[in-house]
């Protein structure tokens, strides 16, 4: 309920991602301890005024003074230390020319992503990849298909792409059924490529990770596909052209 209230107040749709049908968010399975100092108490008390049942998954220092960064049902919010004001948005660090991110939130995202086994991902990787990105994808989304057309160029640029399933119309959709068929194919890479070119998906079923990956994507706050994450947990946006993506990853690598 809180997610829908926030969406009504602050809703925005990425121009380079296909929008997700709203759905309840599953409980986090790799939550970080929520900080318990006096400032965090102010924040928790303030949020409970909006919804008494609200349980933040993460509260930590924001990347700028005077605020706490809060993760609620996968949504990143910023609340003033006195608990009076709430903001939602993507802060930009003018000095670093990049999205402002906190070490605590990045570590939280890393922990969540690490719970998804590598063997359950569909991986397109060059030899000796310099960078690895995790991409929550949908087979119907136009921008997902555009990104997949860039796979060869991404690989030439030393970028490995690890796909995770995120059927944006929900787990009861035909899209989700088709994605299960892709993940159950004997050659998942070929099946995913065929599906993204609009070819019919032969029906298959098996023990598969589609629901787990989708639910974790919701915990990360994904509301559209593709959703690209760097290895350190930074969300890089929706569709990003290969040259721009490489430049961003190189810059991030050089700043460490």
- Catalytic machinery residues: 138, 141, 144, 168
**217 upstream amide cis, omega within 30 of 0:** no
Question: Going by DSSP bridges, is the β-strand pair 131-137/159-165 parallel, antiparallel, or unpaired?
Answer: parallel
Question: Going by DSSP bridges, is the β-strand pair 92-93/159-165 parallel, antiparallel, or unpaired?
Answer: unpaired
The sheet with strand 58-61 has its strands ordered as: 58-61, 67-72, 75-80, 86-87
Q: Which helix (H) or strand (E) holds 179?
A: helix 174-183
* Contact predicate 151/161, CB 8 Å: yes
Q: Which residues of 20-50 are buried (b: 16+ CB within 10 A; e: fewer)?
A: beeeebbebebbbebbeeebbebbbebbeee
Q: For the chain, where are the E strands, in sequence order?
A: 18-19, 58-61, 67-72, 75-80, 86-87, 92-93, 98-99, 122-124, 131-137, 159-165, 224-225, 227-230, 235-237
Q: Which structure tokens are listed for 174?
A: 């035909």
Give the three-class secondary structure for 99: strand
């Amino acid at each position: 309920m809180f997610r829908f209230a926030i969406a009504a107040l602050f809703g925005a749709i990425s121009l380079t991602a296909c929008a997700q049908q709203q759905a309840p968010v599953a409980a986090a399975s790799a939550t970080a301890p929520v900080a318990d100092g006096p400032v965090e108490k102010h924040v928790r008390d303030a949020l409970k005024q909006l919804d008494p049942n609200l349980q933040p998954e993460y509260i930590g220092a924001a990347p700028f003074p005077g605020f706490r960064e809060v993760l609620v049902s996968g949504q990143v919010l910023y609340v003033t230390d006195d608990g009076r004001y709430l903001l939602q948005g993507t802060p930009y660090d003018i000095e670093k020319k990049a999205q402002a991110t906190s070490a605590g939130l990045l570590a939280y995202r890393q922990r969540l992503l690490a719970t998804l086994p590598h063997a359950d991902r569909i991986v397109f990787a060059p030899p000796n990849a310099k960078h690895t990105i995790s991409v929550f994808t949908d087979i119907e989304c136009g921008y997902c298909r555009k990104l997949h057309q860039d796979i060869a160029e991404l690989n030439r640029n030393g970028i490995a792409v690890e796909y995770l399933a995120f059927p944006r119309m929900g787990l009861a959709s035909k899209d989700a059924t088709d994605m299960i068929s892709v993940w159950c194919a004997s050659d998942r890479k070929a099946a995913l490529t065929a599906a993204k070119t609009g070819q019919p998906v032969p029906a298959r079923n098996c023990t598969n990770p589609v629901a787990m990956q989708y639910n974790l994507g919701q915990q990360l706050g994904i509301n559209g596909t593709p959703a690209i994450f760097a290895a350190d947990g930074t969300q890089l946006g929706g569709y990003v052209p290969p040259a721009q993506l490489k430049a961003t990853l190189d810059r991030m690598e050089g700043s460490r």
